[in-house]
Structure 1
Amino acid sequence: MRRDHAPVGGRSGCSPGDVVVTCHACSDLQQLGRKNNSPGAVQPSLPSFPATCSTDRPQPVALVTISRALSAFARAGGKLLRWHGQADQLVPTQGTVDYRERVNRVSGGNRRVDDFYRLFLLPGVAHCGGGPGPQPTGELDALVNWVEKGQAPATLATSSADGSVTRNACRYPQVARFTGHGDPKAAANYRCVPA
């Protein structure tokens, strides 16, 4: 799996195993390669941007542009794993859900989209982590297993900071429901069910 390249706009020659980094505004994408210079950090190269990213001012990326990019990405065998904290104080969760629903509509429905794009909603998790809910753990491992071993994640492991609460976040549109038996703090006592 190549971790040094983040295809954007479907114009960069997506290859199987490429990693897609999603951001909320074009300016975030333009700055991404310049922000993290720490040793060992993944340094994505962003060789091309959609026309909507041609200015320095933040702009939402049009669904048409993204759906074309995702179609090319999917045809190339790419995989996208995305999570969103439902206590996000900056980016409303419903915007992410709405985006996924629109991608479903233009890309053949939830089952077809699930072949390349998995979304996980995390109750109690704030913007990019934090908050009272269990935080994602091992999301990169889940992506690597999907890309390299063909094991698509049905759930995403989460845990509280002290490890006392564990949950398996279910892939959208499913939700985790307590079985009614056992410790409600243990992931083993929850099942994924339709929302």
Structure 2
Amino acid sequence: MEWIAAIGTIVIVGIVLAGLEWTGRKIQAQPETVRKWIHIAVGHWVFLALAWIDQWYIAIVPLLFFTVVNLITLKRGDGQMNQVERVSYGTVYYPVALALLVMLFFEQEPMALVAGSMVLAWGDGLAALVGKRFGKTFYTRGNIKRSFEGSIAMFLASFLVLTVTFLFYELPSWLAVSYGFLLANIATLIEAVSYRDTDNLLIPLTIGALVAFAL
């Protein structure tokens, strides 16, 4: 049954991806916007996996599948999520990061898995969307340009999803809020200084590790 559930998660994610691609074309959204819709949506795969699958080595299979698929589509330039201004390996790093989280935390520390995934999905996703739409004050690191507005969105979204995650796993309110605040700052700093799309790896793994070993 678990293998069937794993295949089911692949089908569901595939339907979501197709739906977002279709919607993006229908409303003529920019490829970068569609890419971030997908970025946010895919992070919620962890809830399907935790609900339907018990073994990490089965849960990791869909992520390996999408790593290969994303790499192939990236090389071929298929889909709106790959029609961006520069070649971006973020779509490959994303399932790789989730796969590492699953290997490390799926069975013993699910809170760390959820925390890392949700910060990657909502924090990093909204940072890009808000920065692109409302960014007016920018800072640079080398040839990487980011906006303060995007960083604020990164912090607020991360703080919210972390606090909700900790409360869901029944941590005391004061700890949920204070640790959510601390980790949101760390995630925002990582997003601000990371090179290109490496934040898709660094953010979830750092947050997952800090949650697992400190809470």
TM-score range, shorter chain: 0.3 to 0.5
Greater strand percent: which structure?
A: 1
Greater helix percent: which structure?
A: 2
Higher relative contact order (CA 8 A, sep 6+): 2
